[in-house]
Structure 1
Amino acid sequence: MSSFMKSSIGKKFFMSVTGLFLITFICVHLSLNLLLIVDDSGDLFNMAAHFMATNPLIKIMEPVLALGFLVHIIWSFVITLENKKARPVTYNSGDKVLSPIAPSKNMLILGGMVLVFLVMHIANFWWKFKISHEGLTAVHVMQAGVNVEMENAYALVAGFFKASSLYCIIYMVGAVLLGLHISHGFWSAFQTIGWNNKIWLKRLEVIARIFAWLIALGFAIIPLYFMIKF
């Protein structure tokens, strides 16, 4: 097993698995964030954020998620460096999506940009939710007939979007970069784990592009909503 994990295919396999795991998290995260534009009172978003913060299973998964991000990022650099050493001369990729910045040719660059976006997101939201609690106030929400006190996560997130058009634009750019990264990574992950026959590979490429742009549009529409409405 250890020799498999040290091999090039083993590293790619594990990076593919962590990538699919992170895509699952992104879907959950997007579903929660879309509540920001569904209910302007903030109650739905606050209840969802409160559930995520207090659910024991979510608390267990948080360090697993963090480890998944670290492994995925570190191994992407390792694999890219190994590929460059093995093949110093680049080859023509078959990926025709925005050819000058084709995801298959620039996964490391796109991943680095997504990482910058992730760091900004952690600094502005996660850190305040979990560590400093800066700007967080309490709010009472009726939940199953019970008046529950919880942090007003909606006020913090919505307030940030309302106050900074620049951050809204950066957030939308980050969403597009995330979509580009996923558009190649999604089908490539399935190819690595064995779904690599010609029929399914073509189907997965189409599904990946549709899925990636739905993710990109889903995240981008949130700051756009606040820019237009407020």
Structure 2
Amino acid sequence: MSWVSKTFNSTLGKKLVMSLTGLFLILFLVVHLGGNLQLLLPDEGQAFNIYSDNMGTNLLIRVISIGNFAFILLHVIYSIILTRLNKKSRPVAYALSKPQNNITWSSRNMGILGTLILIFLLVHLRAFWYEFKFGEIPTAVYDGVTYKNVFAIVSEAYSNILYVAFYVISMGFLGFHLSHGFASAFQTLGLNHIKYSPLIHKVGIGFSIIIPALFAMIPLVMYIKTL
């Protein structure tokens, strides 16, 4: 067995994969948010439709998208493996250790939070990605060029208060997940220092609040506009 196989089959190697895929997905969230915020522009969806068309036709972006799905899958698989390894190594809970005094609620429930986020992701992909690829989407014409009017599909989805509520609650789960995962990823990579770790922790907390809040704001604003 090569050193590469030994490394990634070890517990540390699995945590390394979790950290690297997690950091990539954090970067993806920022890019995805930038694109989605165009939904709020007062242009009847023109900017978002052009952006969506570029996302679907640009070869580099398509390759990155495939990589993104692969990283999500790896992140999920390795999280399941690590959770089982942790339970196997500690089959009996430490009843007297009072873990709530040592670690945060989010760190104790990363598995549950990750599962809830995965459920949201599957529903979200079915509602949008699947429709974009295989559904019948109306078109819009800008400067003589015809685009898929994905803005209309998104607007219709966000006119449903149940879906908006589901989305907003899911962003809350994402926030809790990020509040632990952000700093944990840096720590696993060995990027922790008595001087910089507190800053990384604060940045992580800010990120876990701001990014999910902005994502949640989008469907809320679009729903309010339908009232």
State TM-score, norm by structure 1. 0.91
What value does the CA root-mean-square deviation take over the aligned residues? 1.3
Aligned-pair CA distance for 1:177: 0.8
Aligned to 1:140: 141
Counterpart CA distance in 1 for 2:118 and 2:18 is 16
1 CA distance for matches of 2:203 and 2:29? 16
For 1:62 and 1:44, how far apart are their aligned partners in 2?
20
Distance 1:149 1:43 in 2: 11
CA–CA distance in structure 1, aligned partners of residues 135 and 141 of structure 2: 17
Q: How does 1:62-77 map to 2 (within 5 A)?
A: 62-77=65-80
* Distance in 2 of aligned mates of 1:170 and 1:208: 24
Amino acid paired to 2:174: L
Q: What corresponds to 2:209 in structure 1?
A: 213
**In structure 2, how many angstroms separate the alpha carbons of the residues matched to 1:222 and 1:59?**
24
Structure 2 residue 157 is the aligned partner of structure 1 residue 160: yes
| Counterpart code for 1:129 | F
Question: Aligned residue for 2:113?
Answer: 110
Cα-to-partner distance string for 1:105-153 (whole Å, 9 max, x where unaligned) = 10000000000000010010000112x223x1111113xxxx2211001
Uncovered stretches (5+) of structure 2, i.e. residues with no partner: none
Which residue number in structure 1 is paired with residue 25 of structure 2? 22
Give the superposition deviation at 1:34: 1.0
Residues in 2 aligned to 1:123 and 1:4: alpha-carbon distance in whole angstroms: 36
Query: Which of 47, 50, 61 lines up with 1:47 in the alignment?
Result: 50
Q: Report the AA paired with residue 153 of structure 1.
A: V
For residues 39 and 168 of structure 1, what CA distance do their matches in structure 2 show? Answer: 20
The amino acid that maps onto 1:156 is I
Which among 11, 14, 39 is matched to residue 11 of structure 1?
14
SS in 1 for 2:106: coil
Report Cα offsets for 1:166-186 as digits up to 9, x if no partner: 000000001111111111111
1:104 match: secondary structure: helix
Q: Does 1:199 align with 2:201?
A: no
Q: Secondary structure at the match of 2:190?
A: coil
Deviation, 1:204, is: 1.2
> Corresponding residue for 2:123?
120
- Tell me, in whole angstroms, the C-alpha distance in 2 between the residues paired with 1:40 and 1:179: 30
Q: Percent identity?
A: 39
The alignment of Structure 1 onto Structure 2 pairs a total of residues equal to 218
2:163 & 2:203 partners in 1: Cα distance? 30
Q: Which amino acid aligns with 2:7?
A: F
The amino acid of 2:64's aligned partner reads M
SS across alignment from 2:185: helix
Measure how far apart 1:38 and its partner are.
2.0
CA distance in structure 1 between the partners assigned to 2:142 and 2:42 by the alignment? 13
Query: What letter matches 1:165 in structure 2?
Result: I
The aligned counterpart of 1:99 is none
Please, which runs of 5 or more residues in structure 1 have no aligned partner? 97-101
Per-residue deviation, 1:65: 1.1
Q: In structure 2, what is the equivalent of residue 86 of structure 1?
A: 89
Deviations 1:57-92 (A, max 9, x none): 011122211111111001101001101111232552
